[in-house]
Structure formats: structure tokens, C-alpha cells
């Protein structure tokens, strides 16, 4: 048998999906599994978006333009302009979800053997995309004690090496829910200027910030035209994860050109999903007011409930729909697996994502799990009952 590539060996298993087979087995045993492991919201997709699928009326489902349908790129640009960011349609490349947008961004800025700096815990799939491209992830560890805000300049500077090409971050954060304040985003810009780095800013959760906290886009940085690539998506924005429509947005001309050539190679994004996404962008802003109010309620119930359990703690995240909770256990992977294989409470259990997969530094995150508050308050209250009962009896 011929030998797998080294990168084929290196690509990590997903910490978010790894436990799925155990959850399926639990379900087969008749246990209701609350899936808090994945960022799949239960919020209904806007009806106008679903109606667009139902209204598709072409006879030939044809290729579209490689960078996306013109009306798609226009809708996204308009959305940025409404937020005061002067983005033109030509700055927008439509991709297969934020996933492909990040892959294109990484490929454009880093060669095999190069590094990207990423505050950890980080969205685990960054490591997957990097491994596929032969790029190394250099983590800079943030701390739960200050809600995973940006590490100090000295810590960041110390992590930059001769092959570091970019800093990659997500705010509002996955898995942390942390929203970087404008001064933190400014510090990232200055870091990039100091070390001649690109900035890849994953802003797919930008509509989800609570308590009046505002989200600062990396596109506001002075160096935006030289250094910034923003990742965007309809998945979380419109609760449409299955549409797989995302965007790479950049005013850096050589990067835009490289991404264009990569987009040519894979021909085009899916046509009908884009038509549906265009319809979604006509959703009135009041939609987000309701969604934010709902997530705020859920976050409060979850965080207060976690902190009320002996041996569990969580900061109060300002955005997205995750928190990284700390448990009084030594091996979160074992605990999260045990919840599915050996435990139930009133016929229910909970699937969480062990945080070990969100760290690149070996050994970190072994007491933490990402919990997504993607279910309604009654379900979250059931989850808290399950966790309270589980923590009380868990003996590894």
C-alpha cells in the first residue's frame, strides 16, 4: 500500500464531531442527547431564505461566476457599507462557507513550513485547514481568568518567529464567546505592522454581541488595505449552516488576486444556495434584535447555572453563543465521553466539545469544555440538571 502524506497523518480529528458516534449510541439506547457540542443554532432560518430555494425556476442548474453571483457580492458589500465600512462587491469572494474562505486566506499568505499566530483556545478547524496546507499553528495562550481576552503585547511579540506570516483570530470568539474591544483589535493591527504580518479576522459571529458591547471589525484598521482579510458567513448570521455560503473580504490587492485565482480553480460556489443567501440579506435588522435578546437570555441561564454547580465555573462571554466552562476534572475528554457512554439523568444527557481540541499547546484545556447555547432556555435548564447530577457522581 502506498504511504499517506505526512499532512494526511497530521490533520486532526474534529473535537466538535469526535463524540458523535457515542452520542448516536446513547440515542440508540433511548437516551435524549442535548447537543451542545456544535454551533448549530435552533433559531429558524429566515423564511425569505427558505422561500428562495422553493422559488428556484431555471431549467439548467449552471455554473456561476467563480467569485460569486454579482447580486451576492453586492448584498454583502451593502451590508458592510451599512455598518460604515466602505467595501465594494469586487472585494468580496463568495466561498464554500467560512471554511473555504479561511483556507484561501491561509494559502494566500503562508507557504508550507510557514507559521500563523493564533490566540488559543481557538476554533479547532483552523488547525485542520493549516495542516492541509502544510502551515504550522503557533499558539499564544489566553486565560479563562480574564475571559480569554487578548494576551499582552510582550507575550504576542515573543511568539512571533521568522516564518510567522499572519495572526489569525476570531471575535466574537469561537470557542470563547469573547469580544475583543476596539483597543485589542488596534493592538493586533500594531502587532501586524511591527512584524509585517497579515491579519486574518474571523468575524462570522459579529452580529452576536450582548450587553451593548460593540464588535470592531479588522477592516477599520489603518493597515486594512495592506494586511487585513476578513472571514464572513451566512451560517450563524442567518442560522443557515447547511447553505455553506461564506465570504473572504479583503482590500489587499495581491491577496484579492490570489484568492480570485484559487476561486477559478474550483469553478464556483453553489448557485441556488447563493440565491437563498441573497434573499437572506434582505432580512430587516430587527431580526437580530430578537435573536440577540434570545441568546442573552440563554447565556445568562447557562452561565449562572454553571456557576451554581459545585466544581464548575464560567466567565460571562460577551458574544457568539459559546462559553468555555472549567470543570473540576483532570481529563475532560474522559468526562465528556462518559457523559455519553455511562451516564444519564431522567433519560437525558449532554454532549459538549472537550476544550483540548481548541488548544495547540499539548496538555492545555484538560479541564475545560466548550458549551454552545444553541438550545432554548427549557432545554438548557435540563442540561444544567444533567451536568449537576453528573458532576456529583463522576468518579474517573
Give least dist CB 19 to a second copy, A: 12
Give least dist CB 296 to a second copy, A: 20
Window contacting a second copy (CB under 8 A); options: 47-55, 172-180, 284-292, 314-322:
47-55
Among 252, 279, 350, 375, binds a second copy (CB under 8 A): 252
Give least dist CB 316 to a second copy, A: 27
Give least dist CB 46 to a second copy, A: 10
CB of 5 or CB of 143, closer to a second copy: 5
Q: Considering the rule CB under 8 A, would residue 28 count as an interface residue with a second copy?
A: no
Give least dist CB 294 to a second copy, A: 14
CB of 213 or CB of 267, closer to a second copy: 267
Give least dist CB 159 to a second copy, A: 17
Q: Please state, in angstroms and rounded to a whole number, the distance separating the CA atoms of residues 204 and 192.
A: 21
Q: Considering the rule CB under 8 A, would residue 288 count as an interface residue with a second copy?
A: no
Q: Considering the rule CB under 8 A, would residue 334 count as an interface residue with a second copy?
A: no
Q: Considering the rule CB under 8 A, would residue 188 count as an interface residue with a second copy?
A: no
Task: List the x/- string, 147-176, binding to a second copy by CB under 8 A.
Answer: ------------------xx----------
Task: List the x/- string, 189-218, binding to a second copy by CB under 8 A.
Answer: ---x---xxx--------------------
Window contacting a second copy (CB under 8 A); options: 128-136, 142-150, 295-303, 312-320:
128-136
- Of 347-386, binders to a second copy (CB under 8 A) are none
Give least dist CB 173 to a second copy, A: 18
Give least dist CB 350 to a second copy, A: 18
Q: What HEC string does the chain produce? A: CCCCCHHHHHCCCCCCCCCHHHHHHHHHCCCEEEECCCCCCCCCCCHHHHHHHHCCCCCCCCCCCCCCCHHHHHHHHHHHHHCCCCCCHHHEEEEEHHHHHHHHHHHHHCCCCCEEEEEECCCCHHHHHHHHHCCEEEEEECCHHHCCCCCCHHHHHHHCCCCEEEEEEECCCCCCCCCCCHHHHHHHHHHHHHHCCEEEEECCCCCCECCCCCCCCHHHCCCHHHHEEEEEEHHHHCCCHHHCEEEEEECCHHHHHHHHHHHHHCCCCCHHHHHHHHHHCCCCCHHHHHHHHHHHHHHHHHHHHHHCCCCEECCCCCECCEEEEEECCCCHHHHHHHHHHCCCECCEEEECEEHHHHCCCCCCCCCEEEEECCCCHHHHHHHHHHHHHHHHHCCC
- Of 54-113, binders to a second copy (CB under 8 A) are 54-56, 58-64, 66, 96-97, 99-100, 103, 107-113
- Of 131-150, binders to a second copy (CB under 8 A) are 132-134
Amino acid at each position: 500500500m502506498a504511504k499517506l502524506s505526512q499532512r494526511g497523518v497530521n490533520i486532526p480529528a474534529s473535537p466538535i464531531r469526535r463524540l458523535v458516534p457515542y452520542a448516536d449510541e446513547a440515542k440508540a439506547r433511548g437516551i435524549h442527547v442535548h447537543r451542545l457540542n456544535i454551533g448549530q443554532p435552533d433559531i429558524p432560518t429566515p423564511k425569505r431564505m427558505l422561500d428562495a430555494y422553493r422559488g428556484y425556476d431555471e431549467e439548467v442548474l449552471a455554473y456561476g461566476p467563480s467569485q460569486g453571483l454579482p447580486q451576492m457580492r453586492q448584498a454583502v458589500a451593502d451590508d458592510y457599507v451599512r455598518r460604515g465600512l466602505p467595501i465594494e462587491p469586487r472585494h468580496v469572494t463568495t466561498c464554500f462557507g467560512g471554511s473555504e474562505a479561511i483556507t484561501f486566506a491561509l494559502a494566500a499568505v503562508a507557504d508550507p513550513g510557514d507559521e500563523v499566530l493564533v490566540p488559543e483556545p481557538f476554533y479547532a478547524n483552523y488547525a485542520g485547514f493549516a495542516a492541509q496546507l502544510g502551515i504550522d499553528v503557533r499558539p499564544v495562550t489566553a486565560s479563562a481568568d480574564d475571559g480569554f481576552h487578548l494576551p499582552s503585547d510582550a507575550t504576542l511579540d515573543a511568539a512571533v518567529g521568522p516564518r510567522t506570516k499572519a495572526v489569525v483570530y476570531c471575535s466574537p470568539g469561537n470557542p470563547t464567546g469573547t469580544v475583543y474591544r476596539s483597543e485589542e483589535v488596534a493592538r493586533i493591527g500594531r502587532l501586524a505592522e511591527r512584524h509585517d504580518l497579515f491579519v486574518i479576522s474571523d468575524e462570522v459571529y459579529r452580529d452576536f454581541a450582548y450587553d451593548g458591547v460593540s464588535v470592531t471589525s479588522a477592516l477599520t484598521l489603518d493597515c486594512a488595505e495592506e494586511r487585513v482579510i476578513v472571514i464572513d458567513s451566512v451560517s450563524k448570521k442567518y442560522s443557515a449552516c447547511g447553505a455553506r455560503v461564506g465570504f473572504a473580504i479583503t482590500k489587499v490587492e495581491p491577496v484579492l488576486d490570489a484568492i480570485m485565482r484559487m476561486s477559478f480553480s474550483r469553478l464556483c460556489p453553489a448557485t441556488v444556495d447563493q440565491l437563498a443567501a441573497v434573499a437572506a440579506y434582505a432580512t430587516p435588522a430587527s431580526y437580530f434584535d430578537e435573536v440577540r435578546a434570545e441568546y442573552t437570555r440563554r447565556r445568562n441561564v447557562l452561565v449562572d447555572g454553571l456557576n451554581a454547580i459545585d466544581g464548575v465555573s464560567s466567565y460571562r462571554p460577551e458574544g457568539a453563543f459559546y462559553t468555555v466552562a472549567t470543570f473540576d476534572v483532570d481529563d475532560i475528554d474522559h468526562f465528556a465521553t462518559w457523559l455519553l457512554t455511562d451516564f444519564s439523568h431522567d433519560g437525558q444527557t449532554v454532549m459538549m466539545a472537550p476544550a483540548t481540541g481548541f488548544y495547540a499547546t499539548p496538555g492545555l484545556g484538560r479541564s475545560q469544555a466548550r458549551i454552545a447555547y444553541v438550545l432554548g432556555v427549557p432545554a438548557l435548564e435540563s442540561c444544567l440538571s444533567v451536568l449537576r447530577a453528573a458532576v456529583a457522581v463522576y468518579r474517573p
